[in-house]
């Protein structure tokens, strides 16, 4: 393979050769177990039987504490809408790299690879559009992709509604009302990310998306059937088996901080596939930049911080080390070990 679109191989060719021993790290060849994430039928929330409703809420909150990840069925986003969104997404990524990178599509939000990577373990073999919700309805963002706009508007609205519902359930479980999510979260900082992971026949150790946690309240993922998502469970990596009818939900750093560690923001990554490309769409529920994130109770594990402060610190860590440190930097002194180095 001498070429790729986007030019991932071209960009990282020198690092591939100079860091080849890291690519062959034995730790990356550990047998990965396949897991079935907790599967929750959200129709239980509207059941006439209060016992069923409570069981559904308990399943959501229990999975958020034990796994930090779960799947939802009957989530309100029709298979037809998902299929239309996927079709438009594929058409978008099929245009040549030069056009994606230069034509300003979707608020000029096209990104590819990992520009700050200094070693193979920091590579992300992928490309994406990061679209703020405030720009989803902006006609100027779509250029020739007129049909994408209507689908994106409908899809973003449905994901936003689902995120608000799940967020309110999780805060209510800890004794706070729906207003917590409503008051903190801001359409101006929430966004959709359209992901494309090209096939990568170079090495199975190259990641589509490097190990990380999400810097938001919660994330909802709509993925295809190729698979590749892995998460950390009981100190080992497990691979998530795709479910055609389900969406994946995971807890973000901010909800872990707000819940004082009750809900878990879990490390996850995407592995590449040698022969098949992969598509996914993620919705990120975020607060306004000046929102103060503090624990719902005292004593708190984490000190209070704003979303802006948190994002700035994450970006600074990535700039300096290539890795996100995240919440450990905001631990209250004496309540945990501060991580000051990179996450290996």
Rounded Cα gap, residues 307 and 189, in angstroms = 10
Residues of the chain with pLDDT under 50: 1-2, 21-29, 31, 334-344
The pLDDT tens digits of the residues spanning 281-291 come to 999 999 999 99
Question: 230 with 93: CB under 8 angstroms?
Answer: no
**Given this model, what pLDDT does residue 3 score?**
54
Go through the chain and tell me how many residues it has: 344
Residues with Cβ within 8 Å of residue 231, at least 6 apart in sequence: 67, 68, 69, 237, 238, 240, 250, 266, 267, 268
Among residues 8, 73, 6, 10, the alpha carbon closest in space to that of 37 is found at 73
Q: Would you list the DSSP string of 65-101?
A: HHTSEEEEES-S--HHHHHHHHHHHHHHHHS-HHHHH
pTM of structure: 0.92
Angle between the N-to-C axes of helices 146-172 and 79-94, in degrees from 0 to 180, rounded to the nearest 10: 130
The pLDDT tens digits of the residues spanning 110-138 come to 999 887 777 777 889 999 999 999 999 99
The tokens for 308 are 């802006």
Looking at domain 32-290, its CATH architecture is Sandwich (2.60)
**Given this model, what pLDDT does residue 27 score?**
45
Neighbours of 236 (CB within 10 A): 10
């Amino acid at each position: 393979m001498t070429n790729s679109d986007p030019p991932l191989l071209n960009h990282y060719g020198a690092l591939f050769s100079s860091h080849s021993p890291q690519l062959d790290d034995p730790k990356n060849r550990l047998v990965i177990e396949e897991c079935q994430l907790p599967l929750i039928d959200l129709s239980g929330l509207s059941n006439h039987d209060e016992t069923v409703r409570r069981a559904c809420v308990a399943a959501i909150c229990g999975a958020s504490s034990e796994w930090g990840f779960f799947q939802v069925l009957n989530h309100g986003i029709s298979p037809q809408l998902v299929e239309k969104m996927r079709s438009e997404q594929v058409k978008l990524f099929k245009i040549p790299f030069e056009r994606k990178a230069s034509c300003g599509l979707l608020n000029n939000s096209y990104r590819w690879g990992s520009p700050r990577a200094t070693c193979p373990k920091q590579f992300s073999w992928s490309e994406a559009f990061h679209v703020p919700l405030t720009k989803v309805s902006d006609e100027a963002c779509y250029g020739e992709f007129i049909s994408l706009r209507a689908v994106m508007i409908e899809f973003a609205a449905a994901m936003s509604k689902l995120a608000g519902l799940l967020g309110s359930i999780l805060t209510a479980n800890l004794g706070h009302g729906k207003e917590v999510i409503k008051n903190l979260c801001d359409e101006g900082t929430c966004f959709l990310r359209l992901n494309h992971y090209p096939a990568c026949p170079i090495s199975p150790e190259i990641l589509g998306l490097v190990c990380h946690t999400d810097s938001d309240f919660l994330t909802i993922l709509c993925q295809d059937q190729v698979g590749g998502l892995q998460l950390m469970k009981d100190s080992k990596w497990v691979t998530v088996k795709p479910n055609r009818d389900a969406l994946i939900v995971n807890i973000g750093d901010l909800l872990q901080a707000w819940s004082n560690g009750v809900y878990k923001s879990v490390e996850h990554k995407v592995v590449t596939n040698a022969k098949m490309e992969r598509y996914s769409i993620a919705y990120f529920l975020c607060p306004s930049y000046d929102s103060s994130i503090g624990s719902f109770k005292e004593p708190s594990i984490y000190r209070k911080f704003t979303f802006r402060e948190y994002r700035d610190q994450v970006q600074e860590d990535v700039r300096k080390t290539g890795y996100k440190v995240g919440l450990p930097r905001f631990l209250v002194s004496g309540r945990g070990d501060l991580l000051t180095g990179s996450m290996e």
